[in-house]
Chain A
């Protein structure tokens, strides 16, 4: 009979091995899924994980890795702070939308003025938009004791409706001959989040993501606030005795997650996406949850996990056009990854012992 024995401390080794093992198991399960869909499993897996990096058209796909990875890393870094402290912001998708809308609003209001300060102003507006949207669940939690999971999630649907209202109403391009969607910010030089080095995919969002990784690392390892976050996650009771002010943590964790998600949205709308449209958001806010867990809530881990998840997005698109693999198959694939990670993680916290039935 198998028995789980609590480890005195989570296993160091398994902390690193578990995500890798989860990826391998997901690849195997994914291959089975693709085979069930009537596709060659080996070809599908190779298309997803090999083609974007080393395939014939890799020079085109590699920059995409940064473009798709940056919002995921940026959002996941913010989420990871809260997740560590047991504060569950799962409404990043809404904060991402509101950030994009606020950033775009600044640009559209100032169009067609050209000024070097417009883009920094948009970044601020984006961060502010996401921050305000995240402050709603935070403040309601502190004042009324509402559950931040449910409130932040409800606000995603509100934000989606608001996005539709904006794309069809106030932000619609006046020169767009009645088509929904705003002006294209890529054609507005002061507001365009352009590639910094041509052909690399490197834009300001990527820079921001890297800075966020470094700041989060410093915060968690060198700053007392990071210590309080980690302490609250590991033992809320001990944290209270140590004088950690929970209210402040809620505000800081939700606020920084919102600001980062808002910035991610703003960098997306002013660069890769270009305009405010009804279907602007593609689920980065939810995929970032998987990224945060896969990266072990650690900044460097999140960087790696974000790139891996970006790879599955790009590979998924290639598999879609080359092999006719349905787009939803990749979504299932990403969902399975989190499942397997959580399952494998039992080995990090527990030891499996085989016990022969002992006399009572």
Chain B
């Protein structure tokens, strides 16, 4: 075992990369849940985004096309969920599970010809002066565009929810949909938009996995990242800033266990691979006691006649 071979700068830099997929997916789900909708289909949308983004990037040669396609596909899948839950008034838990099961199958079907292919490289932004700062330059200023998109999105969503009118309306819909309806807000329309946004974010996060983080396509490659993103929203008490913190925590655990595997620690690989899931459970245990922060209408069906 050689723990000395683990470089702190590289470790922190890869932590930022490892955190990005779940950060994107969790931010999307945060907006969805603040609108009062529980979409358990994150895993399905992520993995479909992963293969569609991968396929489009490989075929077009441009990672950017891949990311855009992944966001579009994620949104399209979430539209199915929106139709079921907002118009057919189906149970949200069941519909989300259906989306995940469907997405896992669909991605396996679409991904058949793409196993073992290398995707085009997503370029790093080499930020001039800042990138040359020792240590910090490597950790913070030498990433690709999507990492910064994730960070910007976290800031934007935090500001939107806290200070903007649109954010206030979204929260109103999530806290009490009947009151929001009585005030004249279009509950269903707002929720559908939130769901679409969540889907696009999940698709984007999935594509980041297959295009940058791994980077290749294997069946079932998200291996629970979508579910971890869902747990992250609970961990964050539905707050954008804490989603970012949580994503770094999970990114850190993921990177650390990979580094320990590489360093040849005496624990079998399988037990190390359990760690992200066990940490998720642990985090849920510590953060779940206070239910008061959850949006009050979360998961409840809205029907204007009631």
CA distance A165 to B272 in the complex (A): 11
Q: Which residues of B contact A168 (CB under 8 A)?
A: 268, 270
Q: B residues within 8 A CB of A5? A: 305
Interface flags, A30-56, vs B, CB<8A=1, else 0 = 000000000000000000000000000
Residue B131, interface by CB 8 Å: no
Residue of A nearest to B301 (CB): A349
Residue in contact with A338 in the complex, picked from B88, B102, B281, B289, CB distance below 8 Å: B102
Interface size for B (C-beta < 8 A) is 49
Query: With a CB–CB cut-off of 8 A, which chain B residues contact A342?
Result: 84, 88, 90-91, 94-95, 98
A154 on interface, CB distance cutoff 8 Å:
yes
A157:B223 contact, CB within 8 angstroms: yes
Please determine whether B277 and A157 come into contact, CB atoms closer than 8 angstroms: yes
B284-303 toward A: CB 8 Å interface, digit per residue (1/0)?
A: 11101101000000000001
Contact between chains at A158 and B93 (CB < 8 Å):
no
B253 to chain A, nearest CB (A): 13
User: Of residues 195 to 215 in B, which have CB atoms within 8 Å of A's CB atoms?
Assistant: none
B284 pairs with A151, CB closer than 8 A: yes
B40 at the interface (CB under 8 A from A): yes
A336 to B288, CA, bound (A): 33
Tell me whether A280 is interfacial, beta carbon within 8 Å: no
Give Cα A7–Cα B54 distance, bound, in whole angstroms. Answer: 46
Knowing A153-B224, A154-B227, A338-B97, the reply to whether A346 touches B90 (Cβ < 8 A) is yes
B-contact 0/1 string along A332-356, CB 8 Å cutoff: 1111101100110110011000000
In the complex, how many angstroms separate the beta carbon of B290 from the nearest chain A beta carbon? Answer: 8
Closest to B268 in A: A165
Q: Is A134 an interface residue (CB 8 A)?
A: no
Which of the 9-residue segments B11-19, B56-64, B104-112 touches chain A?
Answer: B104-112
The answer to whether A150 touches B284 (Cβ under 8 A) is yes
Inter-chain contact A150/B270, CB cutoff 8 Å: no
- Which residues B220-266 have CB closer than 8 A to chain A? 223-224, 227-228, 230-231, 234
Among B94, B103, B227, which residue has its beta carbon within 8 angstroms of that of A150? B227
Q: Is the CB of A326 within 8 A of B89?
A: no
Tell me, yes or no, whether B306 is within 8 Å of chain A by CB.
Answer: yes
Q: Mark A259-297, 1 if CB is under 8 A from B, else 0.
A: 000000000000000000000000000100110010000
Asked if A339 contacts B223 (CB within 8 A), the reply is: no
Taking A4-B89, A140-B281 as known contacts, 20 extra A-B pairs with beta carbons closer than 8 A to each other, sorted by chain A number, are A6-B303, A90-B97, A147-B288, A150-B230, A150-B234, A150-B280, A153-B227, A155-B277, A161-B273, A168-B268, A289-B97, A290-B98, A290-B101, A326-B108, A328-B112, A329-B105, A335-B101, A339-B102, A345-B88, A350-B89
Which residues of B are at the interface with A, using a C-beta cutoff of 8 A?
Answer: 40, 80, 83-84, 88-91, 93-95, 97-99, 101-106, 108-109, 112, 219, 223-224, 227-228, 230-231, 234, 268, 270-271, 273-274, 277-278, 280-281, 284-286, 288-289, 291, 303, 305-306
Question: Can you offer 17 A-B residue contacts whose CB atoms are under 8 A?
Answer: A144-B285, A147-B288, A150-B231, A155-B281, A158-B278, A162-B270, A165-B270, A168-B268, A289-B97, A326-B108, A328-B109, A328-B112, A332-B109, A333-B105, A335-B103, A339-B84, A342-B88
